[in-house]
């Protein structure tokens, strides 16, 4: 299993002026997920890149969908909808990322990767709680 995974996306504009075009990447690291994105720059205003961090426990669902003559979309849903309020076109805790062609292979793997990382985090948390309960009941441990 890889240690890190990145999926690049380029979402088309959702407004008539074309300013809500978003490009960026979903970076899955060892300890957290980062949604890094930037809105299209306007003529006299430069938009800074935005980074939103998520713990693996905050991810509710990740799904890659595609088909004949359909866009390649990575659906990312989180339990922390307030973190996605600034993302153009976001629904309550859910964003649809239009995956770029070179990133399709990684997009197909990202759901399994996140599920694996969530299980690792759950196991680590379970071990920590078990050790705490043992140390409370038996002070010699």
pTM above 0.85, yes or no: no
Q: State whether residue 37 is helix, strand or coil.
A: strand
CA atoms within 13 A on the CB side of 12: 4
How many domains are contained in the chain?
A: 1
Q: What is the CATH number of the domain that holds 99?
A: 2.30.29.30
User: In the chain, what percentage of residues exceed pLDDT 90?
Assistant: 57
- Reported as a single tens digit per residue, the pLDDT across 36-84 is 999 887 767 788 899 999 999 899 999 999 988 889 999 999 999 999 9
Q: How far apart are CA 43 and CA 48, in angstroms?
A: 14
Cβ atoms of 40 and 18 within 8 Å: the answer is yes
Is residue 92 predicted with pLDDT exceeding 80?
Answer: yes
Q: Which domain holds residue 101?
A: 5-137
């Amino acid at each position: 299993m890889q240690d890190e995974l990145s999926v690049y996306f380029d979402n088309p504009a959702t407004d008539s002026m074309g300013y809500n075009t978003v490009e960026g990447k979903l970076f899955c690291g060892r300890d957290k997920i980062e949604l890094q994105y930037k809105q299209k720059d306007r003529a006299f205003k430069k938009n800074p890149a935005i980074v939103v961090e998520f713990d693996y426990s905050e991810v509710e669902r990740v799904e890659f969908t595609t088909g004949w003559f359909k866009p390649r979309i990575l659906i990312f849903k989180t339990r922390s909808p307030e973190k996605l309020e600034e993302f153009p076109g976001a629904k309550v805790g859910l964003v649809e990322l239009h995956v770029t062609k070179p990133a399709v292979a990684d997009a197909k793997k990202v759901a399994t990767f996140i599920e694996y990382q969530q299980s690792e985090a759950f196991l680590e948390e379970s071990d920590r709680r078990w050790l705490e309960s043992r140390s409370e009941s038996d002070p010699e441990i």
